[in-house]
Structure 1
Amino acid sequence: MQVSLSWLTTHLDLSAYSTAQLSDLLTFAGIEVEGIQETGIASDKVVVAQIDSFVQHPNADKLSVCQVDDGSGTLRQIVCGAKNFKQGDKVPLALPGAVLPGGFTIKEGKLRDVISNGMMCSGKEIGLGEDTGGLLILDPSLPTGQPLKDILASDTVFDLEITPNRSDLLSHLGLARELSALTGLPLKGPRDHTAPTSTTRPAQENEVTLQAADACPYYTARIIKGIKVAPSPAWLKARLESIGLRPINNIVDITNYVLMEMGQPLHAFDLSKLQGGIVVRRAAEGEKILALDGTQPALLPEDLVIADSQRPIAIAGVMGGEETGVTDSTVNMLLESAYFTPSGVRRTSRRLGIHSDSSYRFERGCDPHQVQGASDLAVKLILEIAGGQVEETLAVAGAAPALVKDVTLDEARAHRLLGIPDLQTDEAHAILTKLGLTKTAGGSAQTVWTIPSYRLDLVRSVDLVEEIARVVGLDRVPSRFTAVMASGDSTDRQYDHVMQLRHALAHRGFNEAQTLRLISTAQISDSLGHPTPAAVSVALKNPLSEDLTTLRPSLIPGLLATAALNNRQGAPRLRFFESGRIFLRLPNGQTREEDRLAILLSGPVAPGSWHTREPKASDIFDLRGIVEALPGVTSLDIKPLADSPTFLLHSELKVGNRVLGWIAQLHPSRARQLDSRHPVYIVELLLSALRQGSTGPARFEDLPRFPSVTRDVAFELPADLPNTKVNAFFTGLKEPLLIKADLFDVFADPTGTKLPTDRKSVAWTLTYRAPDKTLETPEVDATHARILAALEKALPATIRR
């Protein structure tokens, strides 16, 4: 929100404070100052000058050579590119040495070989208004040679970030109240506009009807006839322009002024364009309205509209309608001032994508008890500026809801929380009083405070403690060392384990991805192959958009989306991992959360170089090797799962009896949808299972002291027998001399010439070693024979001897 310092000074005298002091004051009170802009003229070398004569530049068609009177008694030659002036006009002249906004310093120079002793300026060049395509033409009565800074007022504009709970600060009066409490300066006028200056009457049914009192509990309307719509006076234009608002006409400008002055949105309707009375109702399904911003959104029954007897004329709290807005031909008008519930305005504004100054304030919470005061202030200004005659009474439908309640302050707890030894109770109470609170009851232990209607954020005792701390300043809180060393717990160990995994993958060239926990059901179907995503996922009750409707049941959809983005950016190698939480729907309808680790691998095993221009592509064994190297993984067992239209080589990963997760290759058709030039391999692991294997200190074994002996064995198997069964056989042997078994060859003959088509031949290397001696050949032969006999007995294998 932009706040004008000159506007603020109409409420309190801030002349004793510099811009930097005010910025620090607001910052330490919890109001973030995002920027400060100085407007107006600071240099005394920008003066009023009169154009005496001008001729065409001899060397440029678009330039003029002007003789200008700057009040010194000698004409000054200026080269100018503007065309909107005439002889005798008075314009701003920046003399050599003048520093213009942005740090631009004016110097004497030549333009196309013609000397120019300064620069005649536009309004934008000297920080006054927008660029109009030419020079700023000044009032002809201004004295020549007088510095403009003595004539035109300067201003300082603060760009503030107001937290959502402080809706009372979304106005100049609200911020002035805050600064009054922080500085102790008195306000020049009332603290709020809750005291009405007009009389009210219940609105008749043909005037205002509330059909949705839950969304609009309070609505007021006032008719003003005989107004004259015209440009606003200079002071009103200056007020609005100082905070970046564009003046439109006096009626619209007055409603914007009241909005920025006291934080209550208003809307003006052209009375002649209304058909019947005002009806505050829900929209019909698909009903449309032409909004002031030119859009024509389709409304839903959850949207609140202001309507007449025929059609909607405004989106309540968001934006008015184009058809009934005030124009230059408006003579009679209806002024709306109302209170709309924040949740409804927020929902409609977000869904339609229409954001306005009114919706910004309504969705954060306006003060319903200033609704009438805002109408009274606007009517007063309209009568002064636009004339007309106003109805004597204000038509009211509904009543202002009471949104604040008395708060009891626990005095002892307040002092304990603040921790300021020299803070007296009287000082704390004085601070609350300066903030507009009133003490109504209580003693030394507890006091009861009445909250002003605009402070919707004060609901608990601790809120009052926070207010005292903000005003007193945290620099009065003494520093103390109260923290003690805490021993690590399970949460610390879990965090350390995840960091260990992340570092291990990062050291192997993987990049960490962080994706959203919210995905769409289409991603679940495309990435995980689930035909019914609702059966495995947890849906949101109020999704933010169509693409963010479901909590992710897996990390894989996010990694695949990341892979697609990188593929389309031309990344040759994909190495990604992500650790995070997933959300599962169980068959009994319950939900479960799990922490998982997912890894994606695609592309060459190494970057290309002069030595190997096209390295071989990674395969699923490379990814398996990455998994086996992770902390907590020892011997990895693989159990094949059924392939699907989404995955090939789909397998379950286990370490002993612990299920680690699953590994697979993405189906080529799905990989093509991701624009991948290489096969895509993915794995998803349970962090809890990885942690079970990483407990305890690392164990090391001595290097073997005695040589090993190897024997190769080839045997035939049914073609459909998975290799995992053979590997499980060798792993389960109780032979003490067998230390490992490795597959090194697989042969199959599709033609059936050398080997039946339903058979395959595999060759394994068996390695033997004794821990305490060098093996002799008879010992190895005996062990090898027992293993072969057991192999033929355990599997449908035929050993090739």
Structure 2
Amino acid sequence: MKFTRSWLARYLDSDADAATIADALTRLGLEVESVSNPATALAPFVIAEVLSAEPHPQADKLQVLSVDAGSGAVQVVCGAPNARAGMKGVFGPPGAQVPGLDLTLKVAAIRGVESRGMMCSSRELGLGEEHDGIMDLAADAPVGVAYAAWAGLDDPLFDVAVTPNRQDCMGVYGIARDLAALGLGTLKPRPAPVLSEAFVSPLRIATEDTEGCPAFLARHVRGVVNGPSPAWLQRLLAAVGQKPISALVDITNYFSIGHGRPLHVYDVATLQGGLTARRARAGESVLALNGKSYALDPSMTVIADDAHVHDIGGIMGGMESGVSEATTEVLIEAAFFAPERIGATGRALGITSDARARFERGVDPAFVAPGLDLATAMVLELCGGEASAMAVAGGVPEAARTVAAYDPGQVARLAGIEVPAEEQRAILERLGFGVSGEARWTVTIPSWRRDVDGGADLVEEVVRLHGLDRVPATPLPRAEGVAKPTATAAQRLERRARRTLASRGLNEAITWSFIAEADAARFGGGVATVENPISAELAVMRPSLLPGLLAAAARNAARGLADVRLFEIGRRYRDDGEHATAALLLAGDRVPRDWRTGKALPFDAFDAKAEVMATLAALGVPVERLGVQAPAEGHYHPGRSARLVLGKAVLAQFGELHPSVTAELRGTVVAGEIMLDALPQRGAKRARAVFAPPALQAVTRDYAFVAPESLSADALLRAVAAADKALIVDVALFDRFSGGSLEPGQVSLGVQVTLQPAAATLTDAQLEAVGAAVVVAAAKLGATLRA
């Protein structure tokens, strides 16, 4: 929310400077993001008169000017076609920083002629887009005077972050009301204009959607002249970033920003019949004022005539009924729209507008008719014409609410400060609340404070005005002695997982817990939707952590960092509830350039498996007992992924992600997911066994088995390990080969078996017996010793 000091002065009688106002706004809970003043950047620029203008001797499009800026004539080379003797403009001397060009002026020779400064255009001063020539000021502009001061640009601009609950401060008048309540000045009352109602409008006004648009008010004004708005209004709008368009449009913007009351004007000549607030019909669309066409559906409130839709109610008007210079008759609309409907429609259509920002927070229902009266009076003043009687359809919702039996002692109990009851009463009354009663009060809530609902809200208002800085910092009571651990077993587990993944070189990411519905569909579909999402792209609770990590990897890749190692610990949401999960993602190349071959080595499924296994081991999972089952869930590559199971429990999954979910990333992307809530619980007092190194040297034996291609290596390794559980301490796969002399459908698997004797060195007979047992165990799975 932006406003200037001069705009605030229209509603607040105060002599406070910008710094005092900014401090007061912060104390009121309205965070001031910045305070700027155009006059600061324009301080070196002064009003100057062009004494003479002669052709440049070396350039046809340049002129050599003699300029008086109040301290004698100086020579300036200028290329503006409108430069002429006798005109007055804005002069920048050497050393001045030109805001619109971001350069510092200096004495320079231009095509052989010295130039000592610059005559400036509006764009060069950062005051507009006009660049066809230098600024042409009024003949009575005083030479040598600072331009910013003469033009009224010494006007501080405040940029305030308004929280969603303070809908009353979406207009400058509401901010002025708060400042007046703090004692920073006196609030000027809004006038109640007396309008001469010259006729009854023939246009019918109705509302059929009383849920989305309970009240629809309008006035018909004929005989208007829609020219440029006056300079004061153009300056107010331009200062806050609004481009002046025409008097009628500027008036609506003035009321939206100044009073938080969005309005809309229709060109009567474009209407076919009256206007009705109703639900959109299937197949309807509208070409909005932003030049885009929007398809509508029956969940949306629209304003339509007898032929078609003209306005997306409370969000944006239509191009067809917009006013122009040729407009002579207008219908001024002031309506009350349901905030929930506005929010849902805006998100569905992806439209962000000033009107939506105000209506979805909730405008003052009691200011609908007064706002229309004030706007009509301004239209008559600036554009002329005559106004009709007010047409009213529906009824404004009842705004009167009360908080019964409010106890002033709540301030001490909830905020920890003592505020006398009489001061509390005065604060509430200055804010517009009505207070009656003695020991316990009945407090009437003003119509513009939709956010206040109970006693705790009234306490907040009292403390806000009394001073949040006066709330004492009081530590909570603490028991004597050493504090006991408070982390739960699940929290400790997550901490160990986080430390392990970080220690292995992965970077932690924190992503949104809600994602787009299309992204959720690629990971099994979302089962929980957000009722009031930030945007349509953040509407579904994530079924997996991987969409967020993929988006983070894509952002890194777009900025030139294609090799990423990310992890996140958070919650995923399935139909059986939410689940604590650790997810990791590896994208790009594991080794950017191999020193042996000169080629990059991309990540593969086994890299993801290694990270998952190392993390599970650190979490106390008996990884030697884990089984590998293929495939993993559908977002993984079906032939290059697997699940890790312990008994029937799925503890993790890993592998190469399916190409359909990694379209935004180059090359292979692998990932892993650890289901933290499925891990076996470790005993609290389980001690690690004392390490006792074996006294005898281990023996290794290699076997090559020919097996069906359908046999998993994990199944073969488990069978071999079980051949002699007393001697076999480790089994590992060291080779996989297919083709060559092998028959189709067969594969050669190389297995290394480690034997560890305990009491005595193994004899040849013992080694042969173990080897025979290994061959028999493999044969039960269809694997035979390769010749």
Which TM class, normalised by the smaller chain length?
Answer: 0.7 to 0.9
Q: Which of 740, 757, 765 is the equivalent residue of 1:769?
A: 757
Name the TM-score, length of structure 2 as normaliser: 0.86
Which of 554, 567, 575 is 1:577 aligned to? 567
Q: Does residue 189 of structure 1 match 2:215?
A: no
Deviation at 1:89, TM superposition (A): 1.5
Distance 2:556 2:782 in 1: 47
Could you tell me how far 1:454 is from its partner in structure 2?
0.9
Q: Does 1:294 align with 2:288?
A: no
Q: Does 1:438 align with 2:426?
A: no
CA contact (8 A) 1:438 1:451 kept: yes
Residue of structure 2 in register with 1:684 after alignment: 673
Give the superposition deviation at 1:690: 3.9
Q: Is the 8 A contact 2:587 2:670 kept in 1?
A: yes
* TM superposition shift of 1:271: 2.7
Given candidates 468, 473, 480, the residue that maps to 1:474 is 468
- Check conservation: 1:740, 1:768, Cα contact below 8 A: no
Q: Secondary structure at the match of 1:289?
A: strand
Aligned partners of 2:195 and 2:377 also within 8 Å? no
For the residues of structure 2 that align with 1:121 and 1:570, how far apart are their CA atoms?
A: 41
SS of the residue 1:216 aligns to? coil
Q: 2:544 aligns with which of 554, 560, 564?
A: 554
Deviation at 1:569, TM superposition (A): 7.5
Q: 1:499 aligns with which of 495, 506, 521?
A: 495
Q: How many residues align?
A: 774
The Cα of 1:647 is off from its aligned counterpart by 1.2
Deviations 1:638-687 (A, max 9, x none): 243369894115443234675422334456x7699676545x54432211
Aligned partner of 1:85: which letter?
A
Contact 2:707–2:784 under 8 Å retained in 1: no
Q: Is residue 2:330 matched to residue 1:337?
A: no
Report the CA distance shift for 1:552/1:696 in structure 2 as closer, same or farther (over 3 A). farther
- Alignment deviations for residues 301-360 of structure 1 (CA, whole Å, 9 cap, x no partner): 222222222222322212223333332233332222121112222233333333332222
- Give the whole-Å Cα distance in 1 for the aligned partners of 2:571 and 2:37: 48
Between the aligned partners of 1:747 and 1:262, the Cα distance in structure 2 is 78
Distance 1:41 1:100, change over 3 A: farther
Shift of 1:515: 4.7
Q: Please point out which of 349, 353, 361 is paired with 1:364.
A: 361
TM-aligned CA distance change 1:670 to 1:182, over 3 Å: closer
**What SS does the corresponding residue of 1:712 show, helix, strand or coil?**
strand
Residues 1:400 and 1:149: Cα distance change in structure 2 (over 3 Å) = same
Q: More displaced, 55-64 or 465-474?
A: 55-64
1:396 matched to which residue of 2?
Answer: 392
Q: Structure 1 residues 188, 503: CA separation in 2 closer, same or farther (over 3 Å shift)?
A: same
- SS class of match (2:581): strand
1:400-549 correspondence to structure 2 within 5 Å: 400-408=396-404, 409-421=406-418, 423-441=419-437, 443-444=438-439, 446-482=440-476, 484=478, 487-489=484-486, 491=488, 493-518=489-514, 533=524, 537-538=527-528
Structure 2 match to 1:647: 638
Q: 1:605 to 1:101 in 2, by over 3 A?
A: closer
Q: Within 2, Cα distance between the matches of 1:717 and 1:45?
A: 89
**2:71 is equivalent to residue 86 of structure 1:** no
Say which of 614, 617, 635 aligns to 1:629. 614
Corresponding position: 1:180 with 2:180: yes
Question: Do residues 59 (structure 1) and 58 (structure 2) align?
Answer: yes
Distance 1:471 1:654 in 2: 60
C-alpha change, 1:89 and 1:402, in structure 2 (3 Å) is: same
The answer to whether residue 606 in structure 2 is matched with residue 606 in structure 1 is no
The one-letter amino acid paired with 1:137 is D
1:718-797 aligned at under 5 Å gives the runs 719=708, 721-729=711-719, 731-732=721-722, 735-744=725-734, 751=741, 764-770=752-758, 773-775=759-761, 777=763, 780=766, 784=770, 791=777
Q: How far did residue 240 of structure 1 move?
A: 2.4
**Number of the residue aligned with 1:712:** 701
Instruction: After superposing the two structures, state which structure 1 stretch, 96-105 or 429-438, moved more.
Output: 96-105
Structure-1 separation of matches of 2:351 and 2:64: 49
For 1:20, the equivalent position in structure 2 comes to 19
Q: Deviations over 1:354-383 (max 9, x none)?
A: 333222211221112111111111222222
Q: Secondary structure at the match of 1:56?
A: strand
Q: Deviations over 1:88-120 (max 9, x none)?
A: 222233456777769977665544443444433
- Whether contact under 8 Å (2:45, 2:92) holds in the other structure is yes
Kept after mapping to 1: 8 A contact 2:201/2:220: no
Distance 2:302 2:395 in 1: 19
- 1:36 alignment counterpart: 35
Cα displacement (A) at 1:171: 1.6
Q: 1:466 corresponds to which letter in structure 2?
A: E
Further displaced range: 776-785 or 257-266: 776-785
SS at match of 2:286: coil
Whether the 8 Å CA contact 1:648–1:666 is kept in 2: the answer is no
Bigger shift: 497-506 or 594-603? 594-603
CA spacing shift, 1:331–1:520, aligned 2, 3 Å: closer
Q: 1:600 to 1:357 in 2, by over 3 A?
A: closer
State the alpha-carbon separation in 1 of the partners of residues 259 and 764 from structure 2. Answer: 101
Identity of aligned residues (%): 35
Aligned-pair RMSD on alpha carbons?
Answer: 4.0
Q: 1:256: Cα distance to partner? A: 2.3
Indicate if the aligned counterparts of 2:605 and 2:641 stay in contact, CA closer than 8 A. no
What SS does the aligned partner of 1:275 have?
coil
Matches of 2:714 and 2:401 in 1, distance apart?
A: 71
Q: Residues 245 and 765 from structure 1, CA distance in 2 versus in 1: closer, same or farther, beyond 3 angstroms?
A: closer
How far the C-alpha of 1:600 sits from its partner, in A, is 3.9
Specify the code of the residue in structure 1 equivalent to 2:268. L
Deviations 1:256-287 (A, max 9, x none): 22222222112222333332222222222222
Contact preservation (8 Å) 2:3, 2:172: yes
- CA deviations 1:209-240 (Å, max 9, x no partner) are 21111111112122223223322222222332
Quickly say closer, same or farther: Cα 1:299–1:86, change in 2 above 3 A.
Answer: same
Aligned counterparts of 1:697 and 1:664: Cα–Cα separation in 2: 32
Q: Which residue of 2 aligns with 1:266?
A: 263
* 2:644 maps to amino acid: L
What residue identity is the alignment partner of 2:349?
L
**How has the CA–CA distance of structure 1 residues 652 and 395 changed in structure 2, closer, same or farther, with 3 Å as cutoff?**
closer
